[in-house]
Amino acid sequence: MAVTALLVDGLTVRFGSFRAIDALSLAIDYGEVRAVIGPNGAGKTTLLDVISGITRPKEGRVLFDGAFDLTQASDSAIARAGIRRKFQKPSVFEGLSVRQHIAIGADAGFRRALDAPALEDRVSEVLETVGLAGHATHLAGELSHGQKQWLEIGMVLASDPKVLMLDEPVAGLTDEETERTAQLVRRLNRPDRAIIVVEHDMDFVERIADRVTVLHEGRTLFEGPMDKVRADAGVIEVYLGR
Ligand code: ADP
């Protein structure tokens, strides 16, 4: 039976009198890749901000593992619990090597303290997973846009996250890079991990997502597999038909 990783329960986020998230409830299970889609202003980023502890809601809660209320926790406590996010824009350190980046991600975020050989092993494993083993000694500044995205995914992956949030991971990528990213996301899917992806590229979403949540005006407009999402008249009206 599916185990819930994140339970969003009656969540409302207001900016002034405007409700960016409006009494939203949803559950994201371990073992699934969940895409969150919807038109600009739907509340996708605000939802990720609440889950990461950057934005505090006025009402409602987000329970992690059934017990830990993220709306009452600091962003650092949330990260320590294994909830990690790759932000939309790559922000790598141009003068540090690819390997150094992954080591920072592993050292800063791993839920168990690693000794030096274990850290080295972890870094090598992550480099292999994200397809950057051949670039380990390169400076991040020398990487392509796609490689920088994979590097940032590697940095969050290095901490062995239980919940992994990817914010527009294929924005600005070539078709080939997008395809490689889709393969990578599917490789990161594990029974003890939940992956949440915010993305506008619907072909990519179809490749990676087990289920899709369509947000509109801070509420769930539709939830289901991508083929059902594509066929839904309401979704076509507010988003896909545009
Ligand atoms: P999405 O990521 O789906 O495009 P957002 O979550 O970024 O949507 O934004 C939802 C709505 O909340 C938008 O109308 C946006 O303008 C508004 N909003 C987001 N952050 C703020 C803020 N800090 N102050 C005021 N309004 C905001």
Q: Which domains does the chain have, with CATH numbers?
A: 1-82+162-242 (3.40.50.300), 90-161 (no CATH)
Q: Are 195 and 188 in contact (CB under 8 A)?
A: yes
Q: Which of 85, 83, 77 is nearest to 6 (CA)?
A: 83
Q: From 37, 45, 88, 216, give the residue whose CB has the most ligand 1 atoms within 8 Å, as the site to mutate.
A: 45
Residue 135: φ, ψ to 5°: -115, 15
Can you give the pTM of this predicted structure?
A: 0.95
**pLDDT tens track for 98-125:** 999 999 888 765 556 678 888 889 999 9
pLDDT of residue 112: 62
ipTM of the complex: 0.96
Q: From 13, 37, 46, give the residue whose CB has the most ligand 1 atoms within 8 Å, as the site to mutate.
A: 46
Three-class SS state of 71: helix
Q: Are 227 and 214 in contact (CB under 8 A)?
A: no
Q: Which atom of ligand 1 is nearest to the CA of 55?
A: 23
Cα of 121 from ligand 1 centre, angstroms: 41
**pLDDT tens track for 71-100:** 999 999 999 999 999 877 767 888 999 999
Q: Distance (Å, rounded) from C-alpha 13 to C-alpha 151?
A: 32
